[in-house]
Each structure stands twice: as C-alpha cells, then as structure tokens.
Amino acid sequence: MNSISVQARKPHRKLTEEEKAKERRKQKTRPYFMVAPAMFFLVVFTFFPIVYLIVLSFFKYNLISKMQFLGVDNYVRLFTVETTFGVALRNTAIYTISLIVLLIFLSMLLAIWLEHSSILNAIAQRLMFLPHLCATLTVAVVFQWLMNDEGMLNAMLRFFHLPALRWLNSSDTALMSIILISTWKSLGYYTLIMLSSLKSIPTELYEAAALDNTGPVRKFFKITLPMVSPQLFFLLITITIGSFKVFDTVRIITEGGPGDSTNTVVLWIYNKAFSGTIQVGLASAAGVVLMLIMAILTGFYFKALNNKIYYQ
C-alpha cells in the first residue's frame, strides 16, 4: 500500500541510555537558555540599576571624586533643605491628578460620542490619535508657539473679545498650560482605547436594557461603566505612571519655570544629576522616592479597586 514512505525514511536506530539522558538534560535546560539573553538584559539594565540607585542614594557623589557615605542624609535633605523638591513634588502631583481626571473623563465621553461608525467620526478619531504618535518635542514646541503672548491662541481669544492669557509666561498659568498640552497630546490615544472597549460590549445587552426601560444615565452607570472597567483601570495606572514621569515638555519649553511653577520631580532629578553642582546621591534619593511613590500608588489602586472591576 504505502511503498513510498517506507523507502524514504532513514533506518531508526535505538538511542543508548546515555544519549537518552543527554537528550532529557537538553530538554530541561533548553528553556533557561531561551530566556537567558532577556534575563541578562533585564538584570543588567533594569534590576541592577534599581539596586545601584538605592545604593547611590546613601552617598554623596559628583561623578568625579570618590563617593562619600552619608547614611540617610540625602533623604533628610530632600524633605527639609531642598524646598524645590517639595515644589516639584507638588507640581507633579497636581499635574498627575489633573491628567487623570481630564483624560479619563474626556476620553470616556468622547469615546461614547464618537462610537458610531461614520466618516466624520473616522476622521475625528484619526486626527485625535495623531498627536500621540508625534514626538513630545514637536507638540511642546508648537504649543509654545501657539501660547506665545502674540501667538495664535491669544489672537483667537481676542477675536472673541476674551482676555488674552499669559499661558506659559506666568507662574499662575504655566502648569495649567503644560497640563493642557499633555492632554491634547494623549487624549486621542486613550479615547481610542476606550472606544475599542465600548465596541466590545455586546449590543444585545443594550437591547435588553432598552426592553427593561432603562434611561440613558442608568444605562451608563449600570452597564457601560462596569463593562469597560478593566480598561478604565488600565488607563488609571498608565496615566498615573506616565504623568509622574513628565519631563520632555517641561524641559523643552519652560525648563521648570517661570520660577519653579513647572518644575517636576524628574526634571528636578535630572538637573541635580547633570547640571549645576552635580549631586548624584541626592538625585538618586529623589529617584528612589519617586519609585516608591509609583509602587505604592499602583499597589493602592489594585487593593482599592480590584473587586470593582469586572474581569471577563
């Protein structure tokens, strides 16, 4: 019947016990070889730096002379002598909270609004998403130009007989302006994430709700919101971590100013580590503080909200 296959196969000889054991050993060690390069990179470029950062935070170091052990001095300084750190921390907190509220609220709203398939919606979705793909530098610089005292935004305000704003040039409005820029850049991305989440809700649920005589508000809170809760949670964490890292925009257009109104934690750390009197130890301590804040916040989010999320 199957004369072809019989001839094509090589004669199969039996493996010796030694060869079998070798093969088994190979099987067992293979996965370790497979993950080794990745683990190597992760240890060298993520975990070791974390440890090193913590170590550095207990020293005084200016990249040239020898390191000096300080104990917890740097940490004490952060919260007493270095008042600008407190300001940077406060600014970062305001920035983060503002972005969380603005982005989650607006992205949810816009996602619902733009959900329906139409040409106008498709254009709007694409235009909203584009800023996310662009460099923060570009967005920052363009808005710096728009927010110029003689720039387009003030021109538009004057056109509508509204008072011109000082935007980035006043310590009262600078942080707000930065928040606006960041919202503009990221809103599209988060809106589209929420949009895809909304689209995954089976229409049947809404039909059943219609038959149950459900009003729009109740429909949102009892059906839509619970069904998108995983994505909302993801957004919360992503926006929080992303906001605490804010650096590019403030460095490029305000350099922390005017005054210290747009100084943020990462900018503060960067400046302490690379400009003026280099204080790597102090900067590292601040880095550790930042890391702890992010870890605690994330942990808090999980603890507090985990049972409110509907996992599918």
Partner 1 sequence: MGEIKLENICKSFGTTKVIENLNLTIKDGEFAVLVGASGCGKTTLLRIIAGIGPATSGNLYIDGEEVSDLPPGERDIAMVFQNYAIYPTMTVRGNIEFGLINNKVPKAERTKLVEEVAEIVGLTPYLKRKPSELSGGQRQRVALARAMVKKPAVFLLDEPLSNLDAKLRGAMRSELIELHQRLGTTFVYVTHDQTEAMSMADTIVLLDKGAIQQIAPPSVMYHDPDNVFTAQFIGTPPMNIMPLGEKFLGYRPERVALDHAYGDGFYRKAGNVLTREMLGSETLYKVALENTVGSDGKQAEIMVKSADWKFKVGQACEVYVDKDDLYFFDSAKKRIREKENETVHRECMDMINRT
Partner 2 sequence: MVQTSVKKRHRKAYRINRTVKKVLSIFGRCLICLIFAFPFYWMIITSLKTYQESIQNPPTLWPQVFDLSGYVTVLTKMNLGMYFKNSIIIIIAVMAIQMVVMVPASYAFAKYDFKGKKLMFAMVLVANMTPTVITFIPIYIMFAKMNIGGRKILTTLWPQILPFGANAFGIFLLRQSFMQIPEEIIEAARLDNTSEKGIMFKIMLPMSKATMATIALFSFVANWNAYFWPLVMCRTEEVKPIILAIASLKELEVGLIWPTIMAGNTLVVLPILILFAIASKKIIASMAYRGVK
Residues within window 147-206 making contact with partner 1, judged by CB under 8 A: 202, 204-205
Q: How far is the CB of 207 from partner 2 (least distance, A)?
A: 18
115/248 with CB nearer partner 1? 115
4/119 with CB nearer partner 1? 119
The residues with which 59 forms a beta bridge, in sequence order, are: 69
**Binding site partner of 76, from partner 2, partner 1, none, Cβ cut-off 5-8 A by kind:** none
- Report if residue 306 touches partner 1, rule: CB under 8 A: no
| Per-residue binder mask for partner 2 (CB under 8 A), 23-52, x = binder | -----x-xxxxxx-xxxxxx--xxxxxx-x
Element (H, E) at 69: strand 68-69
Residue 68, SS3? Answer: strand
79/113 with CB nearer partner 2? 113
Contacts with partner 1 by CB under 8 A: the residue count is 19
Tokens of residue 166, six digits: 């000082």
- Report if residue 310 touches partner 1, rule: CB under 8 A: yes
112/164 with CB nearer partner 1? 112
Residue type, 24: R
Contacts with partner 2 by CB under 8 A: the residue count is 85
Q: How far is the CB of 132 from partner 2 (least distance, A)?
A: 8
Residue 60, SS3? Answer: strand
Distance separating alpha carbons of residues 101 and 17, to the nearest angstrom? 66
**Binding site partner of 205, from partner 1, partner 2, none, Cβ cut-off 5-8 A by kind:** partner 1
Pick from 37, 33, 14: nearest CA to 25: 33
Binding residues for partner 2 restricted to 182-241, rule: CB under 8 A: 184, 188-189, 192-193, 195-197, 230-231, 234, 241
155, 157, 208, 296: which one binds partner 2 (CB under 8 A): 155
Helices (H), the chain: 3-8, 17-42, 48-56, 73-79, 83-113, 119-133, 136-146, 152-159, 174-199, 203-211, 216-219, 225-244, 248-249, 265-274, 280-305
Distance separating alpha carbons of residues 93 and 77, to the nearest angstrom? 20
- The dihedral of CA 197, 203, 204, 207: what is its sign? positive
Compute, in degrees rounded to 10, the torsion defined by CA atoms 165, 169, 174, 180.
Answer: 60
Tokens of residue 213, six digits: 């005589």
| Per-residue binder mask for partner 1 (CB under 8 A), 204-243, x = binder | xx-xxxxxxxxx--x---xx--xx----------------
Residue 59, SS3? Answer: strand
Binding residues for partner 2 restricted to 133-152, rule: CB under 8 A: 133-139, 141-143, 145-146, 150-152
**Binding site partner of 207, from partner 2, partner 1, none, Cβ cut-off 5-8 A by kind:** partner 1
Q: How far is the CB of 213 from partner 1 (least distance, A)?
A: 3
Tokens of residue 263, six digits: 């100084």
Q: How far is the CB of 150 from partner 2 (least distance, A)?
A: 4
| Sites of contact with partner 1 (CB under 8 A) | 202, 204-205, 207-215, 218, 222-223, 226-227, 310, 312
